[in-house]
Amino acid sequence: MRILALSDIHGAFETMRKIIEAEQSADVIILAGDLTTRGDADDVKEVVEKAIAFHKPVLTILGNMDPPELESTLQQSGTALDSRASEIDGVGFIGISASPHSPLHTPNEVGDEELGLRAERGWSHLGNPRWRIMVAHTPPHRTSVDRLRQGSHVGSPSLRRFIEDRQPDVVICGHIHEARGLDMIGRSQIVNCGPAFEGSYAIIEIGEMMQIRLVP
- Render pLDDT for 150-163 as a digit per residue (tens, 0 to 9): 999 999 999 999 99
Residue 55 has phi, psi (to 5 degrees) of 60, 40
Among 47, 40, 41, CA closest to 14: 47
d(CA 158, CA 155): 9
Q: What is the domain extent for residue 211?
A: 2-215
Residue type present at position 35: L
Residue 52 sits in a domain of what CATH number?
A: 3.60.21.10
Q: Percent of the chain having pLDDT more than 70?
A: 100
pLDDT of 164: 98
Average pLDDT for residues 71-86, to the nearest whole number?
A: 98
SS (H, E, C) the chain: CEEEEEECCCCCHHHHHHHHHHCCCCCEEEEECCCCCCCCHHHHHHHHHHHHCCCCCEEEECCCCCCHHHHHHHHHHCCECECCEEEECCEEEEEECCEECCCCCCCCEECHHHHHHHHHHHHHCCCCCCEEEEEECCCECCCCCCECCCCCECCEHHHHHHHHHHCCCEEEECCCHHHCEEEEECCEEEEECCEHHHCCEEEEEECCCEEEEEEC
pLDDT of 203: 98
How many domains is the chain partitioned into structurally?
A: 1
**pLDDT at residue 141 greater than cutoff 90:** yes
Q: What angle do CA 182, 160, 84 make, to 5 degrees?
A: 95
Q: What is the pLDDT of residues 22-61, one digit of tens each?
A: 999 999 999 999 999 999 999 999 999 999 999 999 999 9
pLDDT of 30: 98
Torsion sign across C-alpha atoms 149, 155, 161, 162: negative
pLDDT of 208: 87
**pLDDT at residue 90 greater than cutoff 90:** yes
d(CA 172, CA 175): 11
pLDDT band at 137 (very low <50, low <70, confident <90, very high): very high
**pLDDT at residue 73 greater than cutoff 90:** yes
Among 208, 190, 210, 205, CA closest to 32: 190
**pLDDT at residue 147 greater than cutoff 90:** yes
**pLDDT at residue 214 greater than cutoff 90:** yes
Average pLDDT for residues 155-174, to the nearest whole number?
A: 98
pTM of the full predicted structure? Answer: 0.98
